[in-house]
Chain A
Amino acid sequence: MKDQIEHLKKRVGQGRITRREFVGRMGALGVSAAMANVMMAQAVRAEGPKKGGHLKMGSVGGESTNSLDPAAAASQVPYYNLNLFGDTLVEVTPEGKVGNRLAEEVSSSPDAKTWKFKIRKGVEFHNGKPLTPEDVLRTMERHSNEESKSGALGVMRGIESMKVEGDMFSVTLKTPNADLPYLMADYHLQIQPDGGFDNPGAGIGTGPYILEEDQPGVRHVWSRNPNYWDDSRGHVDSVEILVINDATARMAALQSGQVHLVNRVDPKVADLVNRAPGVRIESDSGPGHYVFIMHVDTEPFSSNDLRLALKYAIDREDMVEKILRGFGTVGNDMPINAAYPLFDETIPQRSYDPEKAAEHYKKSGHDGSPIILRVSDVAFPGAIEAAQLFQETAKAAGIPLELKREPGDGYWSEVWNTQPFCASYWSGRPVQDQMYSTAYLSTADWNDTRWDNEKFDKMLLEARAELDEARRKELYSKMGRMIRDEGGLICPMFNDFITGVSDKVQGWVDDPTGETMSGRWSSMLWLA
């Protein structure tokens, strides 16, 4: 029997039989399905990636208005495209550590104010030009200069000066930042020849795949870069991204075998898809969270009792069950969860408590007029339903919520960050410092709760410069508790990223730091 098992393991590792077949035959040999799955994963890993084939993905988040300019990327398809043609200096690994890419070595001065990146040698751009530290410098300049419209402008703002020293690219910061390498892993910061100044949307980088066809909003075709510097990435010969924005069409394309993977599976159908033949679901928890945000400087939300009343009046478990169908975890009214390094697990979980809510509501002295919550289905999937659940549970605590449905078109410019109480979404950041600096520092542009606390700002800057991890963790814990108990954030849930994958696809890695293996699916997966 052992021989038979070994034989089957070898066959499945080489991709000669499917997962379903393997599990079935192992079952016949008396091996449980769970065990068989583990054995299969081992076998596949032992066999190593298989080269070749044409990998196709059906993806949401592509429009005819997209370009390949890394500075302009804001949705999934452009994000995947960047990962295909480009490389960043460093990346955030699935374990939440910094991994080297075009930088071979990262070092800092003891005060974390000056950072040096040793640039890899012998790397070539798709146009044949060799990569130099000057290209890195120019790229960073394009994303940080006065005229920049880059999505990474915010993370570049703390930089005082940049220069090239031999094969080193060096950055000097205005204030020390122990997390700078994480900022440099931002997906906008793909290194382009001469920084991409002359033609930012050319799609030329050092990445594993070379552009073949670029039809924004329709499809993007890429072929393997034969001169790619990293042998451990880029397994398939070609990659094709089909823009399929309609959820049902995406599922149909996966089930009829026209694509190998699809992103953003609707939690409502995830279980059904998992049961369908030839496909499976990969669900990764991450830092993305669905939120209701209050402006703490605007009546009536300026009363912390009212804020606490609303926080106690929301049923988090129920929302994870009904809105996410279990594909997610409960939030704790702070933007940080276990997906972040240095997360403090001991912060008590807040739960639904109508009595406490009623008590705080009474203490707030609110006049009992309806509190208007603005919501739209673009805020997050299921936002309207979530707001309705919130309305019901708040009603049970005697708090009158009135829902105002806003048009999805223009929601991010007219409602979010403008109106005092609305539904929204945060995709999260790789490290706590970046999340807090983006949305909770008093001077942050996207301070969408109008959180302005001197003590908090001071702790944030202190933690940023602190190289001692224990001390940093303590500071972050204090800041988290502060937001949780006094902030304007009601965070009912963190959503999972759900991806539908064909059984032909191997090499999946659970990655909590970003959607679909942090966008690295194209170069890390292979076809069995």
Chain B
Amino acid sequence: MHPVLILVVQRIALGLLLLVAASILIFAGTMILPGDVAQSILGQSATPEALANLRAELGLNEPPVTRYFNWLFGVVQGDLGTALTNGQDIATSMGRRLSNTLFLAFWAAAVAVPLAIFLGLVAVLYRDRWPDKLISGVTLASISIPEFLIGYVLMYFVAVQLGWFSTVAMISDSMSLLEKLSVIALPVAVLTLVVLAHMMRMTRAAILNVMQSAYIETAELKGLSAFTVIFRHAFPNAIAPIVNVVMINLAYLVVGVVVIEVVFVYPGMGQYLVDHVSKRDVPVVQACGLVFAAVYIGLNMVADIVSILANPRLRHPK
């Protein structure tokens, strides 16, 4: 078998193992939290009778280990179960939220990744001159400001004062793609600002690193234009670290945007998870945790494989 294929299979097996470990950790974590789902659902209005009735109904009187294996058994068969709090089917309600999250992440990435790489290339081209300094300054400033603040500032000026876009990024199935894009314009803008600097700086650093090599000098001496040198000769050799950092940021766009979701009222996974954690709704928390872990592990795996494929020595081992 081809060594790359073996590596991929190994990675996937390891990933699955990691997922199981993550689910155990999440389950244990929700057990440590004070109070249980019955108390959380009833809140201040919990009477002892109502609590006992609800616990019995939700099957909370079984030992935790039994509950975990019941859950695991269901998941292996593709059954994520129903939410303890409102009895909705988890796969359906989470599926809708997941597709929203992926929609937002996709458009944020579609803007941010090309822009970051392009700005990185420009920064290299004009390194240590004013365009480089301007790009670095602006992107570093935007990553340093808390994202909710950028959100509020954009909301106030662009939505409330100018009225160009909506402050509430609530998308629904009845909207056309164009309407959806207009509604998510502000969160996409904020997310772009947040992830831009990291990718831009890595692109710049990786390419500058390659630019020290002898073959770049050769290319320059051949008389190629500066941009061609960077794009054709330096960029392919700098791709591995760039892909790594792009993947980390993509993962962030999927799993780490709960603050943006709250600020712009976007119906994504983050808010869904937080609601269920605060209600101790373990099956939902498990399902969300599993999806988030899978996204992280999957994207990191892609990054690894791409960097292997990008390296001829690893691609064609002797």
B61 within 8 A of A: no
Bound: A151/B47 CA distance, A: 8
Contact with B along A135-176 (1 / 0, CB 8 A): 000000000001111110110000000000000000000000
Say yes or no: is A246 at the interface (Cβ < 8 Å to chain B).
Answer: yes
Q: Which of B212-220, B269-277, B304-312 has 4 or more CB atoms under 8 Å from chain A?
A: B269-277
Interface pair B86/A67, CB less than 8 Å apart: yes
CB-CB under 8 A for A412 and B43, given A218-B267, A248-B152: yes
| B44 x A242 contact (CB < 8 A) | no
Chain B residues, CB < 8 A from A259: 168
Instruction: Tell me if A242 and B166 are in contact (CB < 8 A).
Output: no
Is A245 an interface position by the 8 A CB rule? yes
Which chain B positions have C-beta within 8 A of A505? none
**Is there a chain B Cβ closer than 8 Å to A299's Cβ?**
no
Once the chains bind, are A414 and B41 in contact (CB under 8 Å)? no
Query: Which of B34, B39, B48, B275 touches A64 (beta carbons < 8 Å)?
Result: B275
Q: Please give, as numbers and ranges, the residues of chain A lying within 8 Å of B152 by CB-CB distance.
A: 248, 252
Contact with A along B164-180 (1 / 0, CB 8 A): 00111010100000000
Q: A65 near B83 (CB under 8 angstroms)?
A: yes
Contacts of A217 in B (CB 8 A): 267, 271-272, 275
* Given contacts A148-B50, A219-B170, A256-B159, A413 and B39 within 8 Å (CB-CB): yes
A60-85 vs B, CB cutoff 8 Å, 1 = contact: the mask equals 00011111010010100000000000
B-contact 0/1 string along A255-298, CB 8 Å cutoff:
11011000000000000000000000000000000000000000
B159:A64 contact, CB within 8 angstroms: no
Contact of A410 among B33, B53, B96, B281 (CB under 8 A): B33
Question: Closest CB of chain A to B110's CB: distance in Å?
Answer: 24
Q: Is A421 an interface residue (CB 8 A)?
A: no
**Complex Cα–Cα for A213 and B175 (A):** 14
Q: What residue in chain B is nearest A276 (Cβ atoms)?
A: B160
A217-B275, A413-B39 given as contacts; is B34 within 8 A of A246 (CB)?
no
One of B45, B50, B54, B168 near A244 (C-beta < 8 A):
B168
Bound-state CA distance A237–B35 (Å) is 42
Q: Are B163 and A256 in contact (CB under 8 A)?
A: yes
Residues in A with CB closer than 8 Å to B271 are 64, 217
Does B62 sit at the interface, judged by CB under 8 A?
A: no
Residue in A218, A252, A409 whose CB lies within 8 Å of B34:
A409
Contact assessment for A153 and B47 in the assembled complex, using a CB-CB cutoff below 8 Å: yes
A151 in contact with B45 (CB, 8 Å): yes
A246 CB contacts on chain B under 8 angstroms: 262-263, 265
B86 lies within 8 A of A249 (CB) = no
Complex Cα distance, B156 from A377, in Å, reads: 26
* Smallest beta-carbon distance B151→chain A, Å: 9
**In the bound complex, what is the Cα–Cα distance between A65 and B49 (angstroms)?**
22
Q: Are B35 and A410 in contact (CB under 8 A)?
A: yes
Residues on the A chain within 8 Å of B182, using CB: none
Give complex CA distance A149, B83 in Å: 17
B99 contacts partner chain A, Cβ-Cβ < 8 Å? no
A153 contacts B167, C-beta separation under 8 Å: no
Q: With A150-B50, A217-B267 given, is the CB distance from A413 to B167 under 8 Å? A: no
User: A65 contacts which of B42, B47, B50, B279 (Cβ < 8 Å)?
Assistant: B279
* Binary contact track A409-432/B, C-beta < 8 Å → 1, others 0: 110111010000000010000000
A154 to B40 Cα, complex, angstroms = 18
Q: How far is the CB of A218 from chain B (nearest CB, A)?
A: 4
> In the complex the two chains form, is B265's CB within 8 Å of A242's CB?
yes
Q: Say yes or no: A256 contacts B167, CB within 8 Å.
A: yes
- A234 in contact (CB, < 8 A): no
Asked if B134 is at the interface of the complex by the 8 Å CB criterion, the answer is no
Q: Using Cβ atoms and an 8 Å threshold, which residues of chain A touch B93?
A: 64, 216
Q: Is the CB of A252 within 8 A of B155?
A: yes
Q: Does A243 contact B (CB under 8 A)?
A: yes
A183 CB to nearest B CB, Å: 15
Indicate if A4 sits at the interface (CB-CB under 8 A): no
- Interface residues in A19-77 by Cβ distance below 8 A to B read 58, 63-67, 69, 72, 74
Which of B42, B86, B87, B281 is within 8 Å of A149, CB to CB?
Answer: B42
Instruction: Report Cα–Cα, A145/B42, bound state, in Å.
Output: 17
Chain B interface residue count, CB cutoff 8 Å, equals 49
- Which residues of A lie under 8 Å from residue B47 when comparing CB positions? 153-154, 445-446
In the complex, the answer to whether B43 meets A74 with C-beta atoms within 8 Å is yes
Question: Inside 8 A of B278's CB, which chain A residues have their CB?
Answer: 63, 409
Q: How far is the CA of A445 from the CA of B279 in the complex (A)?
A: 22
- Contact status B33-A409, CB under 8 Å: yes
Bound CA–CA A213/B46 (angstroms): 29
The A-contacting residues of B in range 78-105, CB under 8 angstroms, are: 83, 85-88, 93, 96-97
Within the complex, what minimum Cβ distance (angstroms) separates B59 from chain A? Answer: 14
Expressed in whole angstroms, the minimum distance between the Cβ of B210 and any Cβ of chain A is 44
Q: Given contacts A244-B168, A256-B166, are A148 and B275 in contact (CB under 8 A)?
A: no
Asked if B41 and A72 make an inter-chain contact with CB atoms under 8 angstroms apart, the answer reads: yes
Query: Residue-by-residue, is B252-273 near A (CB-CB < 8 Å gives 1, otherwise 0)?
Result: 0000000000111101000110
Decide if A465 is an interface residue (CB 8 Å cutoff).
no
Nearest CB of chain B from residue A316's CB, rounded to whole Å: 24
User: Residue among A65, A147, A259 with the most chain B CB within 10 A?
Assistant: A65
Q: A58-B168, A252-B156, A258-B168 are in contact. Are A64 and B272 (CB under 8 A)?
A: yes
Cα A148 to Cα B276 with chains together (Å)? 23
Q: Give every chain B residue within 8 A of A249 (Cβ-Cβ).
A: 155, 167-168, 262-265
Expressed in whole angstroms, the minimum distance between the Cβ of A353 and any Cβ of chain B is 32
Q: Is A201 an interface residue (CB 8 A)?
A: yes
Cα distance A246–B110 in the bound complex, in angstroms: 28
Q: In the complex, which residue of chain B has the Cβ closest to the Cβ of A407?
A: B34
**B86 and A147 form a contact (CB under 8 A):** no
Closest to B277 in A: A409
Give the distance in Å from the alpha carbon of A67 to the alpha carbon of B278 in the complex: 16
Known: A410-B35, A414-B34. A151 touches B42 (CB 8 A): yes
CA distance A69 to B88 in the complex (A): 12
Question: Which residues from B are CB-within-8-Å of A218?
Answer: 170, 267
The yes or no answer to A467 lying at the interface (CB within 8 A) is no
Closest A residue to B173 using CB positions? A213
- Could you tell me if A253 and B276 are in contact, using CB atoms closer than 8 angstroms? no
**Contact assessment for A410 and B34 in the assembled complex, using a CB-CB cutoff below 8 Å:** yes
> Contact between A153 and B50 (Cβ–Cβ < 8 Å)?
yes
Contacts of B35 in A (CB 8 A): 410, 413-414
Q: Once the chains bind, are B46 and A413 in contact (CB under 8 Å)?
A: yes
Q: Who on chain B is nearest to A425 by CB?
A: B44
Considering the chains assembled together, what is the distance between the CA atoms of A243 and B172 in angstroms?
Answer: 14
Contact with A along B23-57 (1 / 0, CB 8 A): 00000000001110001111111111110011001
Contacts of A107 in B (CB 8 A): none
B residues contacting A by CB (< 8 A) are 33-35, 39-50, 53-54, 57, 83, 85-88, 93, 96-97, 152, 155-156, 159-160, 163, 166-168, 170, 172, 262-265, 267, 271-272, 275-276, 278-279, 281
Q: What are 30 residue pairs bridging A and B, where the CB atoms are less than 8 Å apart in the complex?
A: A64-B271, A65-B275, A67-B86, A148-B49, A149-B53, A150-B50, A151-B42, A201-B86, A215-B96, A215-B267, A216-B88, A216-B93, A217-B267, A242-B170, A244-B265, A245-B262, A246-B262, A246-B263, A246-B265, A248-B263, A252-B155, A253-B168, A259-B168, A410-B33, A410-B35, A412-B39, A413-B35, A413-B40, A416-B44, A445-B48
- Which residues of A are at the interface with B, using a C-beta cutoff of 8 A? 58, 63-67, 69, 72, 74, 146-151, 153-154, 201, 213, 215-219, 242-246, 248-249, 252-253, 255-256, 258-259, 409-410, 412-414, 416, 425, 445-446
